[in-house]
Copies of this chain bind each other. A is one copy, B any other.
Amino acid sequence: MNPVGLDVSELEPVSRRSTAEIVADRIRTAIMRGTFAPGAQLGEVDLSSRLGVSRGPLREAMQRLVAEGLLRSERHRGLFVRELGPDDVRDVYLARTAVERAAALQVLAGDRGTAVVALEIPLGAMESAAAAGDAVALADADHDFHAALVAASGSPRLRRMTEGLLVETRMCLAAFQQTAPPAAELLVEHQRLRDALRDGHTELLLDRLAAHMDDAVQRILAAMPGAA
């Protein structure tokens, strides 16, 4: 609490975000959740009327999503949800490994105590989700875990990259969300990541992180229709 008597987080967004940003977030989560199937066409008039905004801000939001790689734009054809193939899965995790490795090293070099504390929240959520068998909550917790890890690095750029990569990860997962993930195994893997981080075992942490990513790729590719 500060002298004004308000939590700083409340007065931070003195001016709320732009319409384009809100629209982009909405569509991004919709794509992430699998509401829009991969390859589906997104009509501008349809979306704009459904979201209650004009086509101007909507097009601005679309440009962002195209830049993020979530949408594919064909001139005078329309906007389509990108379809991720096996190569994309491997590439997403290759990039994630690179970014999260760097983030982990930064955390180890800095204040890893607060980082471990921050990781406990998604770990708790993951435990609950695993016990309840809630696949969506499990994916959310997984997402939050890695986001928290990178956020703890204090690097805005690593954070922003991870943000985009995690969305793509969710797109990959949404493709085969009917198959139940090995919740217990997933939980243990994340707990071991936290343990290695807490104890400051650099090499162990990096190895476990790489292995964790490889496992995920194998799991996804195994459940993917046209995987090589």
Q: In chain A, residues 42-75, which have Cβ atoms closer than 8 Å to a Cβ of chain B? A: 56, 59-61, 63-64, 67-69, 73-75
Also in contact, A76 and B15, with CB within 8 A (given A56-B56, A64-B67, A67-B67): yes
- Secondary structure at the A interface, as helix, strand, loop or mixed, is helix
Closest to A102 in B: B98
* Stretch among A120-128, A153-161, A195-203, A220-228 lining the B interface: A153-161
Expressed in whole angstroms, the Cα–Cα distance for A165 and B91 within the complex equals 18
Interface residues of A (CB under 8 A from B): 15-18, 20, 56, 59-61, 63-64, 67-69, 73-76, 91-92, 94-95, 97-99, 101-102, 106, 155-158, 160-161, 165
Expressed in whole angstroms, the Cα–Cα distance for A20 and B79 within the complex equals 15
Kindly name the residue among A102, A157, A160 whose own CB sees the greatest number of chain B CB atoms within 10 A.
Answer: A157
CB pair B20 A91 closer than 8 Å: no
